[in-house]
Structure 1
Amino acid sequence: MAHMGKRYEEAVKSVDRDRLYDPEEALALVKQLAKAKFDETVEVAVRLGVDPKKADQQVRGAVVLPHGTGKTVRVLVFAKGEKAKEAEAAGADIVGDDELIARIQQGWLDFDVAVATPDMMGAVGRLGRILGPKGMMPNPKTGTVTFDVERAVQEIKAGKIEYRVDKAGNIHAPIGKVSFETAHLVENFHALMDALQKAKPAAAKGQYIRSVAVSSTMGPGVRVNPTKAVAVVS
């Protein structure tokens, strides 16, 4: 087992491992315990009551966080003609078609999120083996395959994040930076939890939100009361 640093060990002592915190209290504690010399990312880990092996229990989607992620996102758009111009006007960092696909096939990956118009997906599909494992492949379920490229680019720039259940039934997602006000982290947290609740598969049985924890990049996890985590969800 890797040795934990003194800062981490001291931070762990401040967390009651047997307690389920309210979201606001948990996030305030995460901010308090973040001692790194950089602006750490605040992350949420949710264990869902689903069986990811079953196609009808997949949980995947996207949500625009009301206060963004605190990260500058480089957006690439696969588009041609007027849609390419629309993407550029909306603030896309890189726009192109076939020549862009060729660059990526050669190993270039200097972007964070990819968007594609539906008519480009026949060609973009060749990048599945490259972009798929990195979670960067355009997908209609997350709103990144669309003719409304202006909206897609603007939402991503405003703080849109994607979430996807892993093989163990967990969701991991960023909701901001420790420099954010606690109230803003709480609002981002509830926006994510709202989206997860609405994405609940009809086939999922029993308790859906099994456990929730929040943490900073270098800090310990703080467990959140699942009931309080979804209390404001309509």
Structure 2
Amino acid sequence: MFALSSSVCFPCRRSLMAASIFPDPARLAVFSRQFTTTPAVLARKGQVQKIRIPSKKAMAAKAKRRAAKEARLVDHSDDMTLESAIAVLRAVEVACPTGCYELFVKTDLRGGGIAVPKGRINIPREPKPRPEDTILVFAEGRQAEEAKRAGAQIVGGTDLIEGILSSRLKANTILCTPSLIRAITPRLGRFLGPIGLMPTERRGTVTDDVAGYIKRIKSSSEWKADRAGNIRMPVARMDFPLEDVVTNFRYVMESIKRVTGNVKLRDQREENTRKVTPIMKVTLSSRNAPSIPISDY
């Protein structure tokens, strides 16, 4: 006769000695606690869900819808026409006739692969004396001599790379001949590219006519956005006639629109392939006056 234990499994309320009393597996199954497991679901070959990657056209359409949505949220109740803004700023700066109208343009660079806007213009009436540009040219032989005669301050070959990387050589404009562009790109591409100084064929800074390019930029001034996409530059002086201020403003904005792709082109194919940098806001201000949003830019 078996000695029964009084030990009880509290979750099951059954005796722990049930196995010794009921050796039959059929009866043992009644008193034993049942456990179940869920088998892992294995993905069959060919049925793995693929991640959908949107096309460039879909991403551009999404960015356009987002920009339109954000534009609707902007309050335009304080916007003025260009002539009205000029009149207000001139009244505020009546004691400072040598002050300047400051133009501010905010562009949206959040889309992928958008380069920092940059361009050169020859304003009809310069508001300030044009600063002299420091020009660095990668050229050799006859082209190097032509660049020096045209007014380039720094001329040389691949020996200039170390000076640029160490910030010992600094320039506002960097040009390069087609024969040297492959030699300088591996080391200077990531260094000069983010700051907009890397020579490229698209901007015309990779050319055989180095002397001609230098002569053209000698009579023009450069505008450039910062990394946040903001463009700031003086467009006119307070003592300029109204017609000159309007002409300068329109001329600068036309250049900015052309570079950012906000001007409709005659060639529809070229318009579809170029990337557009949206212009979010345009304001005009002065030293002692607040910024006035312009509605008719």
Measure how far apart 1:139 and its partner are: 2.5
Shift of 1:33: 4.5
Residues of 2 paired with 1:108 and 1:27: CA distance?
Answer: 46
For the residues of structure 1 that align with 2:183 and 2:288, how far apart are their CA atoms? 40
TM-score normalised by the chain length of structure 2: 0.53
Is residue 80 of structure 2 the alignment partner of residue 20 of structure 1?
yes
Distance 1:158 1:31 in 2: 33
Matches within 5 A, 1:1-234: 18-22=78-82, 25-26=85-86, 29=89, 33=93, 43-48=102-107, 52-55=110-113, 60-66=117-123, 67=125, 70-125=130-185, 126-163=187-224, 170-175=229-234, 178=237, 181=240, 186-199=246-259, 200=261, 202=271, 209-215=279-285, 220-225=290-295, 227=296, 229=297
Distance change in 2, residues 1:163/1:110 (3 Å) = closer
CA positional deviation for 1:164: 5.4
Which has the larger Rg?
2
Shift of 1:118: 1.9
**In structure 2, distance between residues paired with 1:150 and 1:24:** 44
Alpha-carbon deviation of 1:92? 1.3
Structure 1 stretches lacking a partner, 5+ long: 1-16, 230-234
How far is 1:212 from its partner?
Answer: 1.0
Read off the aligned partner of 2:89 and give its amino acid letter. L
Higher strand share: 1
What secondary structure does 2:137 align onto?
Answer: strand
Q: Contact 2:93/2:99 (CA < 8 Å) preserved in 1?
A: no
Query: Equivalent residue of 1:108, what SS?
Result: coil
Query: Aligned in 2, Cα 1:103/1:42: closer, same or farther, shift over 3 Å?
Result: farther
User: 1:105, CA displacement in angstroms?
Assistant: 2.4
Q: Deviations over 1:117-160 (max 9, x none)?
A: 12221122111233223322222232222222123212222224
Structure 2: 5+ residue runs without aligned partners?
Answer: 1-76, 263-270
> Which structure would you say has the larger RCO, counting Cα contacts within 8 Å and 6 or more residues apart?
1
Task: Please state how far the C-alpha of 1:176 moved relative to its aligned partner.
Answer: 5.2
- Structure 2 vs 1, CA of residues 73 and 218 (structure 1 numbering), >3 Å: closer, same or farther? farther
Is the contact made by 1:78 and 1:96 (CA closer than 8 Å) also made in structure 2? yes
1:197/1:19 CA distance change after superposition, 3 Å: closer
Write the distance in 2 (CA, Å) between the matches of 1:35 and 1:130.
Answer: 45
Secondary structure, counterpart of 1:103 in structure 2: helix
Relative to 1, partners in 2 of residues 1:35 and 1:107: Cα closer, same or farther, differing over 3 Å?
A: farther
